[in-house]
Structure 1
Amino acid sequence: MTILKMTPEAEASGLTAEIYEADRRSLGYVPSHTQAMSLNPEAYLAWESLTRAISSSLGLRRYELVTLAAAQAIGSSHCRLAHGKKTLTIIDEEQLRAIARDFHDAGLPEAEVAMMDYAVKLSADAAAMTDTDAQQLRDVGFSDREIADITMAAAARNFFSRALLALAVDTDVPEGISDELHDALLAPLVRVDAPRTGGAAGA
């Protein structure tokens, strides 16, 4: 439990009240992570602007898959659950459970597996990355802008997830997450010695 004294909903004003209201409209409640990070509401809004710019360029599906991979590598229950719920709007639960358990064996296209491997490596040991890692993304068809977007999506998730972990913010379980999906999203990362690509046959 965080030691931060967060602003109660009834006492929120100004930008903080606007941030809370946006979450109530979209989620039906104000998550703990919103309350913690909106202690600096200007920074929180800048963060939201950044992620919108990245996701609109990269595409929602790719953005969410990169986010899920990065959050799993970091060990962020907050972001795995929150973005698992968001991903349900674009991927059915059966496949999402498979992705959550091991995205290498979830029938994803080769390019999506490659970008998720890249997000995992960035989140686990960015200092060990070289041009070879970016070249692997280029080799499966990503443009230079897409490679930059994938990198920024994973790096942005590191910022937010690690801040929540460092502050010991409570983890919220969104409504609409089944027990099976909950368990899959919180499963440990399946690590491989070398990136496996190939996805589904014919993908």
Structure 2
Amino acid sequence: MIVPTVPEEEATGEVAAIYDEERASSGYIPTHARAMALNPAADRAFVALTRSVAIPLGIRRYELVTLAAAHATGSRHCRLAHGVKSLSVFEEAQLERIARDYRDAGLTDAEVEMMAFAERVATDAAAMTDADSLRLRAAGFSDQEIVDIAIAAAARVYLGRMLQALAVDVDEAPSLSEPLRAALVSGI
């Protein structure tokens, strides 16, 4: 990583709190958390932003949007971290299928459309038109859900790009099986 992070044994205040929260939820302190802890206010703001859309979308939809946007931007950090988190809502075999090709993974038509929208946000949002949002509406999403999907995808782009720009090491995600890990990073 380009900038040194605070060693765990030297962490105090908000940095220590961020580390403790990550250790409690992940079992370790991921490198992305160490990088974000260099600006605790930004970390807290990012967490608040993602919670503000994850809660109304539901964890399943939020994780699907996150995986699609992370794949589109080539963020191994986010694909692996959210692969771990996605195991709380998907069986490993289905998650592996989603990681390899979400269009052929047993998802609903609405979920596939949502992931395609997230990919478009991540790759070329400037080229998107009303037609992109209208496809989500036709798939049954409310206006707030459409906004939340766009926010979730854009937030993932932000974090993934920041981690890439700082050359943050990619965690191995030790709790993932090798086939799932390979599926999550394939094509990136």
Aligned residues: 188
What are the superposed Cα offsets for residues 129-156 of structure 1, whole Å, 9 maximum, x if unpaired? 0000000000111010110010000011
Match of 2:143 in 1: 144
Match of 1:44 in 2: 43
Unaligned runs of 5+ in 2: none
What are the superposed Cα offsets for residues 99-121 of structure 1, whole Å, 9 maximum, x if unpaired? 00000111110000000000001
Structure 2 length-normalised TM: 0.98
Query: In structure 2, how many angstroms separate the alpha carbons of the residues matched to 1:3 and 1:61?
Result: 34
Deviation, structure 1 residue 175: 2.4
What are the superposed Cα offsets for residues 55-96 of structure 1, whole Å, 9 maximum, x if unpaired? 001111000000000000000000000000100111001111
Q: Could you tell me the percent identity over the aligned residues?
A: 54
Match of 2:121 in 1: 122
Letter in 2 for 1:24: R
1:107 aligns with 2:106: yes
Q: Describe how 1:33-72 pairs up with structure 2 within 5 A.
A: 33-72=32-71
Query: In structure 2, how many angstroms separate the alpha carbons of the residues matched to 1:97 and 1:87?
Result: 11
Query: In structure 1, how many angstroms separate the alpha carbons of the residues matched to 2:170 and 2:30?
Result: 8
Match of 2:95 in 1: 96
Letter in 2 for 1:19: I
| Other structure's SS at 2:103 match | helix
| Other structure's SS at 2:98 match | helix
Query: In structure 2, how many angstroms separate the alpha carbons of the residues matched to 1:114 and 1:142?
Result: 10
| Other structure's SS at 1:102 match | helix
Query: In structure 2, how many angstroms separate the alpha carbons of the residues matched to 1:3 and 1:159?
Result: 18
Contact 1:111/1:140 (<8 A) preserved: yes
Deviation, structure 1 residue 25: 1.4
Query: In structure 2, how many angstroms separate the alpha carbons of the residues matched to 1:9 and 1:89?
Result: 27
| Other structure's SS at 2:170 match | coil
Query: In structure 2, how many angstroms separate the alpha carbons of the residues matched to 1:176 and 1:32?
Result: 15
Letter in 2 for 1:78: H
Letter in 2 for 1:62: R
Query: In structure 2, how many angstroms separate the alpha carbons of the residues matched to 1:109 and 1:5?
Result: 43
Structure showing greater radius of gyration is 1
Contact 1:9/1:20 (<8 A) preserved: yes
Query: In structure 2, how many angstroms separate the alpha carbons of the residues matched to 1:82 and 1:7?
Result: 20
| Other structure's SS at 2:60 match | helix
Letter in 2 for 1:5: P
Query: In structure 2, how many angstroms separate the alpha carbons of the residues matched to 1:107 and 1:9?
Result: 41
Query: In structure 2, how many angstroms separate the alpha carbons of the residues matched to 1:14 and 1:65?
Result: 33
Contact 1:82/1:173 (<8 A) preserved: no
Unaligned runs of 5+ in 1: 190-203
RMSD over aligned CA atoms reads 0.8
| Higher share of residues assigned helix | 2
Query: In structure 2, how many angstroms separate the alpha carbons of the residues matched to 1:167 and 1:16?
Result: 18
